[in-house]
Amino acid sequence: MEYTISKLAKLANVSARTLRYYDEINLLKPARINSSGYRIYGQKEVDRLQQILFFKELDVDLDTILSIMNNPNFDKQVALENHYKQLIQKRTRLNQLIETIEKTIKHEKGEIQMSNQEKFEAFKEQLINENEEKYGDEIREKYGKDVVEQSNAKFRGMSKEDYEAMEQLGIEILELLPKAFATGDPASDLAQELAEKHKQWLTFSWPSYSKEAHAGLADMYVADERFKAYYDKAIEGGTEFLRDAIHIFTNK
């Protein structure tokens, strides 16, 4: 079966303009152009569009989708299995949030009593699931399964006050990083204050703190593009600066 651009757009519930853009950036090319100059799409293109929409549903940006799908080693079956796994995790997180909202509504109506701990359980579980999805394999390989499970357990049991304090500390770290970076010296007072705040942030969820583990995590930040992107959003080159500051901090 073949589709014109308008028919494919209607089938996939996307705009024809979107399909033209995908063609322009070499993400989804038509199978052929007919004698009247119309783009014609076949089954292969329909299946590729489905893959693209799966990625978009998982909030993957277009540049990344383009890089993944135009890679000659792209494996459709593996991609589908990963999509399935990630969507199941997403559904689980949504179900947890829905359950929390339902309980909160009943609490507000006076039908049940809801503890402060319960009010934040879904949000904490969501963070754990997101971290597992992104970094689970790496951190287990580096620190071991038991350490990771103990860390998750500590995070789940965190009080509302500690949870809010940890969130605030994370914000302060990103705000302080550009100021410390501007000194150009990872041993400066500001840089060492940054490393100290990072240590405090870790202790909210780590079962125990060690300088060696802290330094190792800093190395992982630089080696892993996902970690690097998080800190570099505060200031380009910030991840390496934070690592250097932590290394000096942990060698004192």
Domain boundary among 69, 86, 120: 69
Check whether residue 165 and residue 236 sit in a common domain: yes
pLDDT of residue 117: 66
pLDDT of residue 102: 83
pLDDT of residue 119: 66
Check whether residue 236 and residue 203 sit in a common domain: yes
Check whether residue 163 and residue 213 sit in a common domain: yes
pLDDT, tens digit, for every residue of 76-112?
A: 888 888 888 878 877 877 777 787 788 778 878 888 8
Percent share of the chain, pLDDT over 90: 48
Q: Pull the structure tokens for residue 135.
A: 């970094």
Domain boundary among 45, 69, 93: 69
Check whether residue 145 and residue 99 sit in a common domain: yes
Element (H, E) at 39: strand 39-41
pLDDT of residue 135: 62
Give 124's pLDDT tier (boundaries 50, 70, 90).
low
* Cβ neighbours, 10 Å, residue 181: 23
Check whether residue 30 and residue 92 sit in a common domain: no
Range among 50-64, 119-133, 181-195 rated most confident: 181-195
Instruction: Give the domain CATH number at 59.
Output: 1.10.1660.10
Alpha-carbon gap, residue 197 to 170, rounded angstroms: 9
Domain boundary among 69, 101, 121: 69
Distance set, CA 182 to CA 119, 193, 249 (Å): 40, 14, 18
* Cβ neighbours, 10 Å, residue 45: 21
Check whether residue 147 and residue 191 sit in a common domain: no
**Residue 168 pLDDT > 90:** yes
pLDDT, tens digit, for every residue of 214-232?
A: 999 899 889 888 788 889 9
Check whether residue 122 and residue 167 sit in a common domain: no
**Residue 65 pLDDT > 70:** yes
Instruction: Give the domain CATH number at 183.
Output: 1.10.490.50
Residues 6+ apart with CB under 8 A from 64: 55
Check whether residue 149 and residue 170 sit in a common domain: no
Q: Pull the structure tokens for residue 150.
A: 């103990």
pLDDT of residue 223: 86
Full DSSP string of 171-223: HHHHHHHHHHHHHT-TTSHHHHHHHHHHHHHHHTT-SS--HHHHHHHHHHHHH
Q: What is the mean pLDDT of residues 234-240?
A: 95
pLDDT of residue 92: 76
pLDDT, tens digit, for every residue of 131-145?
A: 666 666 666 676 667
Check whether residue 19 and residue 96 sit in a common domain: no
Alpha-carbon gap, residue 243 to 237, rounded angstroms: 10
Instruction: Please provide the size of the chain in residues.
Output: 252
Check whether residue 173 and residue 150 sit in a common domain: no
Name the 3-class secondary structure at 40. Answer: strand
Check whether residue 177 and residue 124 sit in a common domain: no
Q: Domain of 112?
A: 76-155
Which sign does the torsion angle of CA 92, 94, 100, 106 carry?
A: negative
* Overall number of domains in the chain: 3
Check whether residue 150 and residue 101 sit in a common domain: yes
pLDDT, tens digit, for every residue of 2-58?
A: 999 999 999 999 999 999 999 999 999 999 999 999 999 999 999 999 999 998 988
pLDDT of residue 230: 87
The whole model's pTM is what?
0.49
Contact 227, 221 (CB under 8 A): yes
Q: What is the mean pLDDT of residues 227-248?
A: 94
Which sign does the torsion angle of CA 198, 226, 79, 16 carry?
A: positive
56 φ, ψ (degrees, to nearest 5): -65, -35
Burial of 242 (0-12, 13-18, 19+ CB in 10 A): buried
User: Distance between the two ends of the chain, CA-based, in angstroms?
Assistant: 69
pLDDT of residue 224: 80
